Structures are given as structure tokens and as C-alpha cells.
Structure 1
């Protein structure tokens, strides 16, 4: 009898479910978008009931597509976007809309924490920067402006922990996820009242669920969930993973020399170490899913979500053209980008639609276009600007380690050959893409395989379940072209900095 594992991934806008064999073969995939609500500038939210219904729908859909007996699914694990905030009351119902990690409503609170020394004081415990989309900042904001929300809250969840709660009825937080929130003393691996007190939110201490590790069983599919999804009642559900951990393990990042990129809603650039790296100039160090390792990360919400926004807002007849040709509108984007040579235009795009890695008030913009430029020129600039944003992060990481011989990449941008080649050319490093369309769900599936003891470790599971597909080799002749563009990009950033500050 064949056995399978189910991985569920809830990103900022899309919910996905995939069924994998224990050899990592992708059997079936299902996905569904959820609506991002923006009730005020800088606020990014989602309806938690809609989110749960999307999970029910993709589970039902993937089971139908896979044409397997749900009894053959031996384990389930969830992953999802880190940070943000999902609150439930004593009855397990949503207290308010969930908050997505691209939210920036708490920027004044972050500024205050940086100015009054709070950020520096807690750094030895949290090992990460304070930023607007973290639960620490969002809870401080809610305490100030929505105090009744805090009063009504029974449990504070991360996205994937909320979904696991819906699946099992059991309230836990998983350690890779909570270790990236600034709510947790990751140095000592515990909740810390003094840390919360320094942030002014000590009152939420009792609302933080008990912690579990990624590969621990955290409950079982309930009868009610089995009835609405088609899953088997009693199927074990693992602790799951912060999405950055899921992406890392799904690209086989189990050794220190490797570097992993995720090009999705967020620009994620990361590697693992046996000793934590603590530096106020780094974005985040967190606990990795492989015991004994830490995950060092540079990231910001500046990646492929910029393309999704552009296509939504500025493509009109292109959607119909793509449909008439039987291709995706994103395939059409790739064709347009390929029609423009790298040295043909010096338009710049700054990918700061949902936040920035250079300045808290930075705004997205195109710079330097003329009347003869077309949408194709602007799309190339957008693709390049996203990669330049990744490069800013990677340059920071390389202050603490040697340049990698190869980079493995995951995320929605991997579906674009032209974008992957651009990463290789700009970074001047070979880029390896993992086989399979959904690395997030693969990472979760690997976690489920470990939790159910089908593999003794994450390293062994990744060795058997991760397969490398295409490799993109950099074009040496484009090195100087992109170096000049990148220097131009940074010089304009330096000029814009004072404008954003004012």
C-alpha cells in the first residue's frame, strides 16, 4: 500500500495544498486565493473564516485530484507566512480580521522602540530587528487602539498555527514560527515576561500558546474536519514550519555552505549556522527546524508580489490576449521581458509596494522612463528591481560568510525562466531550482514525514524527497551591464532617502 503526506501552505494571498509520496513526488496540487483587505493605508488584512474555508476547499480539491484513499495519507503538516497576527476568543472564533505580515500600521511604534533603546536592549534575546509586521508591534498597536480586541483574545496564533488549530482543536505555537516574532526569547528558548514588559505588552503572556517543535505531533484531524474535508479522522498533524524554514528544507538546505532564496510575496535570503549570528544590522536570526541549527535571514516584502500588483492594476487587454493564446498572463509577461535586452534601457523600479529594506517610509516607483518606453521596458525594470532588492539583502549576508558556489531558489518567481536567468546574471552565481511547483507545501510534507517517523531526521527526509531540476548558469558577458545598473539603482536610492525621511 502506498503512503502519502499532505502539505498545506498559507501565504499572504494564496492557500495551497499538495500531496506527496514519501519519495517527494508531487501527486496533486490545489490552490485558492483569498482577498487582501486594505481598510486603511498600510493595513493589510484577511478574513480568518474565509481563510479557513479556503483551506477546506483546497484539501477537498487535492484529495479529489490525487484519486487516493484518504486513509493512505499518514501525516499532515502546515506552513504559512511568518509574523502577522491571528487572534481567537475562548470559543475558538476569530476576534477580528487576521493581519498579514505586509502590514505597516505600527511604524510609529517601531520608530519609538528604535529611538528609546528598546530594540537594542532586547536584541540579545530576540536576535532580530523589530519591524512593523511582527506580532510584537501589532499587539502593541492593538493594545493602544483596539484594547477590546486584546481583552477578547484567548490565543495568539501565527497563520499556520491557526490553521493547525482549526484542523485539530489543539492550541500550540511552533518554535520556528514564534522564534521570528520578537515575542520569544530565542536565546533561552522560552517566553519571557521581562522581554514582553520591555515592549509594553506583558499582559499578553497568558495568551501565548504552549510551544512545540516542528517534528512533533500537535494533534489529530477531528471528526468535524474529516466530514467537511474528506480527510481521515485521527490523521496526525505535525507542528509544521515557519515558511522560511519550509522553503529552506524543501531546497535541501541542511548544510552551512548553502544559501537559499525565496522569491514570493517576500524577498527571503537565508542560510543556516551552528552558532547564532547576532548583529543589529541583520534582519533576523531564528531557530531552524533541524535541531542544532539557526537560520540567518535578510528579508523584506519586496519580491514577486510587485509583479502580481502590476499585472492586476495595469494589464487590461493583456489578460484577454493571454487567454486567447491559451497561456498564462505571466507567460506573456515573460515574453515581454525577453523582448528587451538588459542593456537596452536604464529604467529603474524600486520594489517597495508593501514595505522596504532600505527605509521605513520608502515608496515604490519607476524612475527614468521616457515616452518611447513600453510596458515591456517597465516589466523588465520591475523584474530587475526585484532581483536588486534580493541582492541588497544578500550583500549584507555575505559580510558574515563566504559567497556560495550555488544558490537554491524557491517561490512563485521560479516559474519564470527569464527571471531565474536574471537572478543568475545579476548575482553571478549558478541558480538551482527544485523540481515541483510548490516548495512551501513540499517543506511541510517533509515535516509530516519526519513527525510520523518515516524518516529519522529532516536531513534524511530532504535527501530522499528533494530533487534538483534546472540550473541557470550566469552569463559572464552581462556582469558589467548589471553591475552598472545595480550601482545606478543604489545611487538613486541614496538620493531618495532624504526625500522619504521628510
Structure 2
């Protein structure tokens, strides 16, 4: 079988449910992608973990399979970048070996840590320094939980990393924490641009400062593929490996964000709405989450919660799996906003308070599976609107929403998003934004392009555009209002439950 003579850049994307590897030429054209599922381990309620040796084995398998399938030799791969889900925690011991399982950003074990910090007013103290919320899946929250509940493990910590840092370490033997991801860890001082010892002191994890690897840039060459890893993967020894990207940044790059007139919505495990800006604003009405943008070229601002399309995957598993085409036919056969059935998409977390969980409301015997699927489509869009509306306060000049993620394959779902939001929805025709963004980091790092902005300009892909329908917008606004009424009512319910638990009362007064 003949091997091509093209040069390629390898982008690896470590997501919530899949690890993917893609090969791209210097213009960003995809040569091929390999995908492998990544199991989420949950031995206790609210836990979401990943076996680190198994993750590395999946990475090796993906790389070797991709090179074989595309008839590409290791010598043709000129650089490697890695994109990954943000936050979470991947620990090494003092010998550089995995210290227990990796913990994912959707893990909720540290909820009590967050509650204690909020009671102490820590968010008000730390936000001006880090520009981050306090979230159970942050590295700092998980580190504090481990210190309190697994003190022996805490004492063995040698290095603190996130997923792409761990994979880069396995490829090169060099440790580092990539900036777009670590800048959203609450370990990073946004104004000063690096770690700050006062942060670990405020968070009660002072000992961790000595275990933080150097901060590395997205396009910085952080090491090269070692001889032993080359033998395992088929890559050439000495192949440069760059810092990589937080997957939200990778997606924003591939979506073509360049100014404050366009926002990016990501629909996957997480519902994310993001925009880019040149500076950090000091006077804002909402505590927006900031992170460093690719190559240090400004900042990414985003709103996010794990309330997106993973809810549909769960329902489909429980009710007898349908193909995505069958699901879309079932939803498309129903009138828009025509049912009273509501769904709260909070199976994996909420953007309406930590106590809020998922559920259907309004079901009657006349409803069938199509109504449930339609309610999930609507509930996911309504949850995205929580973030989009906040972002539009920060980016009032934004006129277009560029959407990426698996649901973009559904014109029905995307038209629903346009109709609910009242904004034109643009769909970049890119299959794997995580892999492509990581490959762009490798291209910039190896000198193909001088900046990420220049790399963006050389991407050539189709963008489909859907316009909102005025009549449908009015109907959806009424149902969106009912969705919010339900959330408000449940907020009262949870408050009364909490008060009853605190007082020991069981009366109905």
C-alpha cells in the first residue's frame, strides 16, 4: 500500500466521552480521524472519574490506528497538539506515576467544599484575582476535598495536571500546565498571568504550590516524542509536541471568533457560550468567567454548565436507542412548542443552583416518546439561553451565534435554537473542532503560521446559516417563560425542604 508524501499535523482531543486523533495538512484540511470511547467511572453518587493508564492506552491506540488507516508514516507528522476538556484533576505522585484516577470536571464530590467556601465569602475574595467561579469540578475544589477526605493521597501528590497535560507528559516525559486551561483553575492570577501563592493559601491547599508544573503556552514546544513512545505509536522520535488548548478555546478558534460581534455556542456534554475580548473589564454586572485565549492573544469569556446534549443521550439509552435520524423525525413531526411537557436538563449539573436536578413536568397519558424527545431538545436550548442571555449583556453588539458540537447535525435542533434566541445561527462545517484546534496549535508552534489569527485566516470551510422564524420565536418565548416559572417554583420547594431538614420539622405550614 503506497504511503503519501504529504506533511501532516496531529491533533488529539480528549473529551468527556471520546478520545479522538486527527491528521491535518497545513491548510487545516482533514486527512482522517480516529475515535475511541472513553468510559466515565462512577463508584459513588456524583463522582466522575477516568482511569489514567487506560486513557493513555486509548491515546496510543488512536494514534497507531490513525496512522495505519491513513497510510501515513511517523516522519510525515511534523507536530502534535492536544485539546482537552477543561478543569478536573489528573494527579501524579512524586515518582511521576498516576496517583489514583483522574477526576473529570463533571464530578460533584466537592459540593460541600464549595458550600463552605461560599459561607465564608471566599468567592467575593478570590474572583477579582482569578476571574473564576467556584465550581465543584475545579482542580482547587477537588484538591481541597482530597486534603480533607484522602489525606494520605494528598501527601503523595507530586504534580497537578489536567487531561491534556497528562497526555503531553506521557508523550514527552516533560511536565507543564497549558495556559488556556490552567488559567481557569483558580490557581492562576489573571492580571499577573501566572500562579499566585496567595491563592493556594486562601483555598487551604498551600502545600500544592510546590506541585504545580510550569505554565506553558498553547503553541510552545514543550518537549518531543521520546524514543520509547515512538516505538509504541509509530510516531517519529523527536516530533515536537506543543502545549495545546482548552477545548472551548479550540472550538472558538475553529468557529472563527475574531471580534465581539459573534458568539460561539458549544453543544456537547457542556452547554457553553463564549466570546473573545482584548482586555479584562473591571465593571461588570455579572461575574463572568475569563480565561487566556490561544497564544496569549486576549481573553476568552464564557458561561457554561453540564446541561446540554448529554441529556438526550441518557434518555435514548433508557428508552430504547433510536438513531439520530429517527429522533429528529420524531421531533420534527410535532408542532413547534406545541406540547405542555417541560424538561429540566440537569442530569449532570445545573445552572440554576446546586440543588436543582433533572425531570419532566406536564406529562399526561396522551404523550408519547416523541413528546419526551421534543421536551429534551427544548430544555437543552432553554438552558443554553440562560448563558446566552448573560453573554449578550456583556457582548451587546453580538448579532450572530456560531454553533459547534454534535447537535449541529440536526437542522431541527439548530432551527429551534435560532427560533428561541431570535438570532441567526451559523454552522461551521467542521467535523472535529477539538482535533483541528489542537493541530493549529502544532502548526503555530512549528512555524507554519506566526499567530493563531494568521492560522484562522487560512482555514477554508463552508458555513451554513439559519434565520429565526418570527412566529416560532413568539411561541417558544411563551414556553421558555413556563420553563423559568417551573424552575422558580422548584427553587421554593428546595428552600422549604432545606428549612424543614434544618429544623427537623415535617409539617406543611
- 1:83-482 maps to which residues of 2 (within 5 A)? 83-277=87-281, 279=284, 281-315=286-320, 318-319=321-322, 329-482=323-476
Per-residue deviation, 1:49: 1.0
Structure 1 stretch 485-494 or stretch 334-343: which is displaced more? 334-343
Per-residue deviation, 1:157: 0.5
Per-residue deviation, 1:68: 2.1
Q: Which runs of 5+ in 2 are unaligned?
A: 499-509
Q: For the structure 1 residues 412 and 349, does the alpha-carbon distance in structure 2 shift closer, same or farther, using more than 3 Å as the test?
A: same
Once residues 281 and 359 of structure 2 are traced to their aligned partners in structure 1, the CA distance between those partners, rounded to angstroms, is 33
Per-residue deviation, 1:403: 4.7
Task: Kindly indicate whether the alpha-carbon contact (under 8 Å) linking 2:260 and 2:397 is maintained by their aligned counterparts in 1.
Answer: no
Per-residue deviation, 1:483: 0.7
Other structure's SS at 1:101 match: coil
Cα offsets for 1:300-358 (capped at 9, x unmatched)? 0111111121122222xx45xxxxxxxxx222212221121213212111111111111
Other structure's SS at 1:76 match: strand
Other structure's SS at 2:307 match: coil
Task: Kindly indicate whether the alpha-carbon contact (under 8 Å) linking 2:261 and 2:400 is maintained by their aligned counterparts in 1.
Answer: no
Once residues 499 and 399 of structure 1 are traced to their aligned partners in structure 2, the CA distance between those partners, rounded to angstroms, is 30
Matched, 1:22 2:26: yes
Per-residue deviation, 1:419: 1.5
Structure 1 stretch 220-229 or stretch 374-383: which is displaced more? 220-229
Structure 1 equivalent of residue 488 of structure 2 = 494
Cα offsets for 1:62-111 (capped at 9, x unmatched)? 21222222211111100111001000113332111111100111111111
Structure 2 equivalent of residue 325 of structure 1 = none
Cα offsets for 1:365-392 (capped at 9, x unmatched)? 1111111111111011101111111110
Once residues 7 and 369 of structure 1 are traced to their aligned partners in structure 2, the CA distance between those partners, rounded to angstroms, is 45
Task: Kindly indicate whether the alpha-carbon contact (under 8 Å) linking 1:359 and 1:500 is maintained by their aligned counterparts in 2.
Answer: no
Task: Kindly indicate whether the alpha-carbon contact (under 8 Å) linking 1:277 and 1:296 is maintained by their aligned counterparts in 2.
Answer: no
Other structure's SS at 2:195 match: coil
Other structure's SS at 2:483 match: helix
Task: Kindly indicate whether the alpha-carbon contact (under 8 Å) linking 1:7 and 1:18 is maintained by their aligned counterparts in 2.
Answer: yes
Task: Kindly indicate whether the alpha-carbon contact (under 8 Å) linking 1:26 and 1:436 is maintained by their aligned counterparts in 2.
Answer: no
Task: Kindly indicate whether the alpha-carbon contact (under 8 Å) linking 2:307 and 2:346 is maintained by their aligned counterparts in 1.
Answer: yes
Cα offsets for 1:25-78 (capped at 9, x unmatched)? 111011111111111111111111111111111111221222222211111100
Once residues 465 and 172 of structure 1 are traced to their aligned partners in structure 2, the CA distance between those partners, rounded to angstroms, is 29
Once residues 66 and 149 of structure 1 are traced to their aligned partners in structure 2, the CA distance between those partners, rounded to angstroms, is 43
Other structure's SS at 1:96 match: coil
Other structure's SS at 2:164 match: helix
Structure 1 equivalent of residue 501 of structure 2 = none
Could you tell me which of 39, 43, 68 is aligned with 1:39?
A: 43
Per-residue deviation, 1:143: 0.3
Per-residue deviation, 1:260: 0.6
Once residues 493 and 212 of structure 1 are traced to their aligned partners in structure 2, the CA distance between those partners, rounded to angstroms, is 42
Structure 2 equivalent of residue 322 of structure 1 = none
Other structure's SS at 2:458 match: helix
TM-score scaled by structure 1?
Answer: 0.95
Task: Kindly indicate whether the alpha-carbon contact (under 8 Å) linking 1:19 and 1:29 is maintained by their aligned counterparts in 2.
Answer: yes
Cα offsets for 1:281-306 (capped at 9, x unmatched)? 33411111143411111000111111
Task: Kindly indicate whether the alpha-carbon contact (under 8 Å) linking 2:113 and 2:145 is maintained by their aligned counterparts in 1.
Answer: yes
Task: Kindly indicate whether the alpha-carbon contact (under 8 Å) linking 1:120 and 1:280 is maintained by their aligned counterparts in 2.
Answer: no
Per-residue deviation, 1:469: 2.9
Task: Kindly indicate whether the alpha-carbon contact (under 8 Å) linking 2:132 and 2:290 is maintained by their aligned counterparts in 1.
Answer: yes
Other structure's SS at 1:108 match: helix
Structure 2 equivalent of residue 326 of structure 1 = none
Other structure's SS at 2:296 match: coil
Other structure's SS at 1:262 match: strand
Structure 2 equivalent of residue 59 of structure 1 = 63
Task: Kindly indicate whether the alpha-carbon contact (under 8 Å) linking 1:250 and 1:466 is maintained by their aligned counterparts in 2.
Answer: no
Task: Kindly indicate whether the alpha-carbon contact (under 8 Å) linking 1:252 and 1:466 is maintained by their aligned counterparts in 2.
Answer: no
Per-residue deviation, 1:394: 0.9
Task: Kindly indicate whether the alpha-carbon contact (under 8 Å) linking 1:95 and 1:149 is maintained by their aligned counterparts in 2.
Answer: yes
Per-residue deviation, 1:197: 0.4
Task: Kindly indicate whether the alpha-carbon contact (under 8 Å) linking 1:101 and 1:134 is maintained by their aligned counterparts in 2.
Answer: yes
